[in-house]
Amino acid sequence: MSKGLFISFEGTEGCGKSTQVRLLTDRLQSLGHRVKTLREPGGTPIGEEIRHTLKHSKANHAMTAEAELLLMNASRAQLVREIIRPALAAGEIVVCDRFYDSTTAYQGHGRELDLEKVKAVIDFAVGDTRPDLTLFLHVPPAVSAARLRSRQENLPFVRDRIEEADQKFFERVAHGFGVIAAAEPQRIKSINGAQPVETVCAKIWELVQPILPRIGRW
Ligand code: Z5A
């Protein structure tokens, strides 16, 4: 059975994931690869409804950390079975803006849920569907905040419940990503996301290009 390649992007808000996901997708497609570009939470019709509930629904003020954990993984379980597994089985490249490391960072470290229980929920949601490569863009909090401010100025205000968390929460998330990356250096590659877009893009390509020949040969 042919098998594709699964690449996830991770990092704190404003680290530049979405920008780099777009650039990588364009480059891979221009080389003739079939690419599925996804985001979490979301990526399927059910997942996008869950995303709305998690971020923007008027009724979500009272959401507990446990409900948040389960909703993130409900969206993920759907995405894995509806899109990711069929795409990988067909030899496509899946590029995903966030995957389960975000749950460990935000719900585990950020919301301070028991990390073993968080892992058990993730394992149930994804089974053996794991990224081959995870690109972790790290930026200092001040850079991330400045980028989000400047983006906000150009967008209509849309309420996002997760962004309303306090500063300590985001500090725990940032620390959590560091712990996660250090624990799996084979899969997770850290890149300084504070560099210019083109520099980050070139570093990512240095990591992606060598593994492209694996497609179809797993
Ligand atoms: N979440 C969770 O809690 N648990 C989970 O399991 C999952 C997610 C999967 C999803 O929000 C939220 O869900 C997120 C985590 C949580 N919450 N928070 N808070 P989202 O999908 O709406 O957004 P995001 O994933 O946090 O990303 P973002 O804020 O959209 O940022 P980004 O994708 O990393 O960055 P960007 O959009 O590419 O860039 C931000 C701005 O900086 C933009 O104006 C760019 O033009 C600029 N930029 C990008 N790169 C550069 C460089 N290199 N230099 C200068 N400027 C740059």
pLDDT tens, position by position, 117-141? 999 999 999 999 999 999 999 999 8
Per-residue pLDDT at 58: 85
* Cβ–ligand 1 contact at 103 (below 6 Å): yes
Our CA dihedral for 216, 207, 38, 66, rounded to 10 degrees, sits at 110
Q: How far apart are CA 115 and CA 192, in angstroms?
A: 26
CATH 3.20.20.70 given to domain 5-211 = no
Contact 71, 59 (CB under 8 A): no
Helices and strands: H and E segment counts in the chain: 9, 5
Closest atom of ligand 1 to CA, residue 170: 19
Q: Where are the domains of the chain?
A: 5-211
How would residue 1 be classed by pLDDT, with cut points 50, 70 and 90?
Answer: very low
CB within 8 A of 105, min separation 6: which ones? 10, 173, 176, 177, 180
pLDDT greater than 50 at residue 8: yes
- The amino acid occupying position 78 is Q
* Cβ–ligand 1 contact at 145 (below 6 Å): no
* Cβ–ligand 1 contact at 41 (below 6 Å): yes
| pTM of the entire predicted model | 0.96
* Cβ–ligand 1 contact at 76 (below 6 Å): no
Q: Running DSSP on this structure, what letter comes out for residue 82?
A: I
